[in-house]
């Protein structure tokens, strides 16, 4: 099977920026600036030459592996919560983690309003303490922010 052609230096730099990677020349590695802690990945070399296409593929593969691991960890947490609810049913109403779609957006917008009136703004740890899952927050933030803004400014939503 023929090997894909190596990227030019300009195309490689563009792809790094596009995907949120950065070359750390002092370390001789690449960092994923979109991930917490900026995890490092070693370049793929052929002799003394950098294989840009293979390096980009390795960076994307490492990011995907980290995302899959995070998704698996969240799935384990959801399963633990489900089992705990079966063992000891909650006496309080369902947590925000069970909300979906429009109900989740409306509740998240209300939480944004409450948190911004109490402090400087709604931070991820504050929302997670209220019972939101990270995936919900990231999925509904834009719509909830827009809804909260329209509610605060008297615009019907």
Structural domain boundaries of the chain? 9-87, 96-153
* Nearby residues of 113 by Cβ (< 8 Å), 6 or more positions away: 148, 151, 152
Instruction: Give whole-number Cα distances, 40 to 47, 66, 122, in Å.
Output: 21, 12, 30
Asked whether the beta carbons of 146 and 153 are under 8 A apart, the reply is no
Per-residue pLDDT of the chain (157 residues; tens, 9 = 90+): 455 578 899 999 999 999 999 999 999 999 999 988 899 999 999 899 999 999 999 999 999 999 999 999 999 999 998 888 788 765 554 578 888 899 999 999 988 888 888 777 788 888 888 888 888 888 999 999 999 888 888 765 4
pTM confidence score: 0.54
From the number of C-beta atoms within 10 Å of its C-beta (0-12, 13-18, 19+), residue 119 rates as exposed
Other beta carbons less than 10 A from residue 108's beta carbon: 26
| DSSP per position, 63-96 | HHHHHHHHHHHHHHHHHHHHHHHHHS--SSPPPG
Place of tokens 């409306």: 106
């Amino acid at each position: 099977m023929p090997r894909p052609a190596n990227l030019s230096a300009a195309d490689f730099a563009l792809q790094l920026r596009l995907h949120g990677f950065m070359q750390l020349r002092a370390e001789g590695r690449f960092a994923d600036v979109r991930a917490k802690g900026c995890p490092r990945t070693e370049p793929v070399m052929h002799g003394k030459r950098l294989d840009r296409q293979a390096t980009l593929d390795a960076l994307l593969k490492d990011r995907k592996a980290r995302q899959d691991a995070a998704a698996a960890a969240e799935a384990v947490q959801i399963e633990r919560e489900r089992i705990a609810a079966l063992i000891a049913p909650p006496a309080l109403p369902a947590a925000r983690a069970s909300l979906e779609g429009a109900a989740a957006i409306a509740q998240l917008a209300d939480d944004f309003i409450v948190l911004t009136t109490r402090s400087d703004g709604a931070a991820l740890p504050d929302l997670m303490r209220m019972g939101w899952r990270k995936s919900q927050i990231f999925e509904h933030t834009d719509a909830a922010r827009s809804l909260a803004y329209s509610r605060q400014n008297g615009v019907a939503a």
